[in-house]
């Protein structure tokens, strides 16, 4: 089975021993507290579940700047995106060597983790700008990832953590949320050796479904893990519960039983394009996947990145031997009216734009909101029905929705 990144074994930071967990929770109630922002809480979930192996906690400023500039920590570990605990107010934890980290996304702000504080460092606006430009490729405040990152705060609180719980994800998504530990264990149980991972923050239309099938067939894969993001997205994106229902319906009806796992992970979307694609590869390697599908504009938003920047970064900026996971580089997929099947557009050089069934996201949303299913060449009818119900509910008056 593929090894975790930078380690021979997975290193989840979630405290599973019940007695130790209780003792840490009791201690935490007496410690100074820091209320996290959602980005830091999401990092804790990924650290706790083993997705961020081999990290032991939050990076300090030196590591953050090194990662931003060179995609390596100060001690040489390959890593594409700083894993930070930024805050705007440290008055309650100044001088503390050990603090309780509290969850911003759960009522009552329960303790998520106990942290040994290595450093509390001020971060200058120039350093924030440096990290932003390197990771996101822009400092445009209209970029949703930049907008969030630029407001997280100018203090970096670093150190090792022991995670006590995984926030709301286990409760809200009991059938879907899985740690890297759990997915790796299930892959091993199924005896899969070659495993394809598909990243998604959207429902899957026919082209996505066929792309997964193409990857499995061309790689000779034993199985597919459809791995959806369950954390915070930008305004207007479809909620995780709706995406989950769409994907499960598609898998149940159209894939051979036992060949696909549908799972999710608790992270907030960064929209960081190429850098985020590399991060996606790292934590998919940690969960046991041998291949990650990287398609057109993977993890992108708007026009901030070139259509294939998330593929070329693996050739141009990832040193040989840094990752064991391999990339399945994909083009846009669409239904060909000529061939009467879904194809990668680059593999149909004799086609003109009108030879494909292509619909804009805006057009699809309009159709769904009006109760009209997109053509069968674009979306499975069972998936369209779920989305129609969602969009019509969204467009209904508040009183009707209640």
- Catalytic annotation, residues: 201-202
Residues 6+ apart with CB under 8 A from 248: 262
* Helix segments in 137-268, DSSP class H: 144-149, 169-172, 180-190, 206-219, 240-254
Beta-strand runs (E) in 46-204: 57-58, 86-87, 98-102, 111-116, 119-122, 155-163, 195-200
Distance CA 72, CA 61 (A): 13
Distance CA 299, CA 402 (A): 34
As given in the structure block, the two tokens for residue 99 are 């603090």
**Do 132 and 154 form a contact (C-beta atoms < 8 A)?**
no
Burial of 361 (0-12, 13-18, 19+ CB in 10 A): exposed
The answer to whether the peptide bond before residue 350 is cis (omega within 30 degrees of 0) is: no
Name which of 367, 369, 347 is nearest 359 in CA terms.
Answer: 367
* Helix segments in 94-238, DSSP class H: 125-136, 144-149, 169-172, 180-190, 206-219
- H helix or E strand, kind and range, residue 225: strand 223-229
Provide φ and ψ at 271, rounded to 5°. 60, 35
Other CB atoms within a 10 A radius of the CB of residue 48 amount to 27
- H helix or E strand, kind and range, residue 291: strand 291-294
Sign of the torsion formed by the C-alpha atoms of 170, 157, 234 and 274: negative
Distance CA 214, CA 336 (A): 15
């Amino acid at each position: 089975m593929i090894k975790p990144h930078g380690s021979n074994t997975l290193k989840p930071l979630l405290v599973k021993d019940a007695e130790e967990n209780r003792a840490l929770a009791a201690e935490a109630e007496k410690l100074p507290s820091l209320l996290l922002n959602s980005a830091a809480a999401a990092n804790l979930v990924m650290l706790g579940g083993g997705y961020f192996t081999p990290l032991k906690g939050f990076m300090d400023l030196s590591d953050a700047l090194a990662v931003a500039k060179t995609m390596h920590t100060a001690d040489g570990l390959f890593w594409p995106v700083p894993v930070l605990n930024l805050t705007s107010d440290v008055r309650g934890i100044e001088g503390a060597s050990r603090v309780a980290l509290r969850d911003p996304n759960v009522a009552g702000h329960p303790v998520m983790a106990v942290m040994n504080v290595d450093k509390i460092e001020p971060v200058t606006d120039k350093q924030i700008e440096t990290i932003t430009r390197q990771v996101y490729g822009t400092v445009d405040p209209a970029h949703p990832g930049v907008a969030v990152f630029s407001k997280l705060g100018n203090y970096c609180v670093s150190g090792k953590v022991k995670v006590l719980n995984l926030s709301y994800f286990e409760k809200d998504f009991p059938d879907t949320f899985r740690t890297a530990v759990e997915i790796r264990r299930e892959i091993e149980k199924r005896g899969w050796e070659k495993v394809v991972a598909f990243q998604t923050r959207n429902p899957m239309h026919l082209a996505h479904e066929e792309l997964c099938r193409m990857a499995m067939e061309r790689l000779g894969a034993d199985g597919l893990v459809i791995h959806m993001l369950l954390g915070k997205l930008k305004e207007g994106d479809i909620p995780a519960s709706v995406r989950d229902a769409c994907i499960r319906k598609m898998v149940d009806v159209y894939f051979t039983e036992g060949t696909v796992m549908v799972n999710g992970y608790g992270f907030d979307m960064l929209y960081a394009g190429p850098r985020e694609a590399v991060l996606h590869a790292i934590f998919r390697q940690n969960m046991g996947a041998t291949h990650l599908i990287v398609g057109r504009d993977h993890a992108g938003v708007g026009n901030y990145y070139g259509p294939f920047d998330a593929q070329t970064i693996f050739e141009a900026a990832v040193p040989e031997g840094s990752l064991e996971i391999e990339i399945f580089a994909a083009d846009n997929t669409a239904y060909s009216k000529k061939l009467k099947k879904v194809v990668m557009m680059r593999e149909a050089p004799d086609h003109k734009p009108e030879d494909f069934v292509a619909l804009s996201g805006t057009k699809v949303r309009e159709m769904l909101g009006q109760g009209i299913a997109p053509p069968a060449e674009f979306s499975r009818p069972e998936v369209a029905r779920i989305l129609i119900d969602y969009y019509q509910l969204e467009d209904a008056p508040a009183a009707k929705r209640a």
